[in-house]
Amino acid sequence: MRMKCERAVEEIFPVSRAMIALKLIKEYGFSQTKAAKRMGISQPAVSQYAKRIRGRRRFEFTKSPEYRSLVDEIAKGLAEGSITEESIGNAMCRLCKAVQGNG
């Protein structure tokens, strides 16, 4: 029996982190080190997201306008400092709920 959160850890989180990391780097001009620090992950993880080693699989949910909007909102919040490392967990839960709501 798989719980919804298991799917999130295996499928939703890596893709979401990759999309957020790339936005921070490309749209907000962050270095990998700064993006990693804001996201609360390691710089090597951000490097792997940037190289599409991690989080490269794309699922149907990534096409959802609601999902993309939430990714944009999280990236913007991290860039502006309005979303902290401590509160990013809540934001990621919102992403998961959006994906689950869309099947």
Q: How does pLDDT run along the chain (103 residues), one tens digit per residue? A: 667 777 777 778 888 899 999 999 999 999 999 999 999 899 999 999 988 887 776 667 778 888 889 999 999 999 999 987 678 888 888 888 887 775 5
Residue 73: domain span = 4-101
Which pTM does this prediction carry?
0.85
Q: How many CB atoms lie within 10 A of CB 59?
A: 12
Task: For 16, list phi and psi in degrees, rounded to 5.
Answer: -65, -45
> For residue 100, what are the contacts with CB-CB under 8 A and spacing of at least 6?
4
Q: What is the reported pLDDT for 27?
A: 96
Q: What is the reported pLDDT for 51?
A: 87
- Overall number of domains in the chain: 1
Task: For 97, list phi and psi in degrees, rounded to 5.
Answer: -65, -35
Q: What is the reported pLDDT for 84?
A: 78
Q: What is the reported pLDDT for 34?
A: 96
Instruction: Give 3-state DSSP helix, strand, coil % of the chain, rounded to 5.
Output: 70, 0, 30
Q: What is the reported pLDDT for 36?
A: 95
